[in-house]
Each structure stands twice: as structure tokens, then as C-alpha cells.
């Protein structure tokens, strides 16, 4: 499991780095050419939009990995510590169920959208939508890792 997490970390970090570079480059090029030469490029807006979509999904994966998503923990502060383990396992189970649905429906949607192409760059929309199942798998790995870590940590609490 540890090796899979290391590979997933490299994928997420590398993709976020690359997507950030592409986003900055395409947006910067568009602004520069529009302001300096009054010559807007048609493809930069479309590429920036789709790169941003992928960037957001990988960012959500990173947020899950680092436990940075919003949470409401007012109830947990009043519960005995022995119940917290089951509370978190229930939350992680709900996340895994959601990710399973996201995976299945994402694959289905990506396959259906392969016949449609983007207007300017002529990229199949299915390739853009394929980020949904990819991130569902990565988030599933991170959720299983968090479950394992939390179970070990909570089991050692007195």
C-alpha cells in the first residue's frame, strides 16, 4: 500500500506542477498578445478552461490527502474518544461509496463523450472528462490510507 501511495503522490504532485505551468503559460500568452498586439488567440481560452478543470480535480485530491477539506467537528468534541474511531471509519466508508459511484459514472460519461469534440482544439471531450475516474481512483487510495492510519492511531489511544 505504501508503494501505491508514493506513486499516487508523484502523479498528483507532478500533474499539479505541470498543469499550473500550462495554466500560467496559456493565460499569460493570451493576456500578452491581447494587450500588446491586440491579437487574441482562440485556443488559449479553451485550453485554459480544460486545464483548470483538471487542476481543480487534482487539487481536490491533494486536499483529501492532506485532510484540508472543510469539516464540521462540533459534534465530535462532545463524544467520548472511543467512538471517534467508528465515526471516522463511517465517514471514510461514505467517501469510498461516493468515490465508487464517481468512478463508475465517470467512466460511463467519458465513454459517452468520446464522440464529441471541443470546438477549437478538436480534443475529444471524453479525454477531458476522464479526470473524474482518474481522481476517483487516486482519492480512493488516499481514503484507504487515511482509514488505515486513523485506525492504527485511534487503536493505540487509551
Q: DSSP for 92-113, please give it.
A: HHHHHHHHHHHHHHHHHHHHHG
> Alpha helices, DSSP H only, in 37-130?
42-65, 81-112, 125-129
Residue 107 in grid coordinates = 467512466
Q: What digits encode the pLDDT tens for the residues 25-49?
A: 999 999 999 999 998 898 999 999 9
Could you count the other beta carbons within 10 Å of the beta carbon of residue 72? 6
- Give the phi and the psi of residue 117 in degrees, each rounded to 5: -125, 155
- Is this model's pTM higher than 0.85 or not? yes
Greater confidence (153 vs 157) lies with: 153
Residue 157: per-residue pLDDT: 47
- Mean pLDDT of all residues in 126-155: 92
- Taking the C-alpha atoms of residue 91 and residue 96, their distance in angstroms, rounded to an integer, is 9
Amino acid at each position: 500500500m505504501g508503494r501505491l501511495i508514493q506513486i499516487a503522490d508523484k502523479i498528483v504532485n507532478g500533474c499539479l506542477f505541470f498543469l499550473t505551468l500550462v495554466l500560467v503559460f496559456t493565460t499569460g500568452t493570451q493576456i500578452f498578445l491581447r494587450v500588446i498586439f491586440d491579437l487574441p488567440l482562440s485556443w488559449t481560452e479553451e485550453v485554459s478552461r480544460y486545464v483548470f478543470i483538471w487542476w481543480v480535480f487534482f487539487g481536490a485530491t491533494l486536499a483529501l490527502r492532506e485532510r484540508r477539506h472543510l469539516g464540521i467537528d462540533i459534534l465530535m468534541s462532545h463524544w467520548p474518544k472511543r467512538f471517534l474511531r467508528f465515526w471516522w471509519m463511517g465517514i471514510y466508508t461514505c467517501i469510498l461509496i461516493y468515490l465508487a459511484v464517481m468512478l463508475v459514472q465517470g467512466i460511463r460519461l467519458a465513454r459517452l463523450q468520446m464522440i464529441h469534440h471541443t470546438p477549437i482544439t478538436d480534443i475529444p471531450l471524453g479525454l477531458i472528462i476522464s479526470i473524474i475516474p482518474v481522481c476517483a481512483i487516486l482519492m480512493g487510495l488516499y481514503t484507504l490510507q487515511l482509514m488505515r492510519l486513523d485506525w492504527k492511531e485511534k487503536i493505540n489511544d487509551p
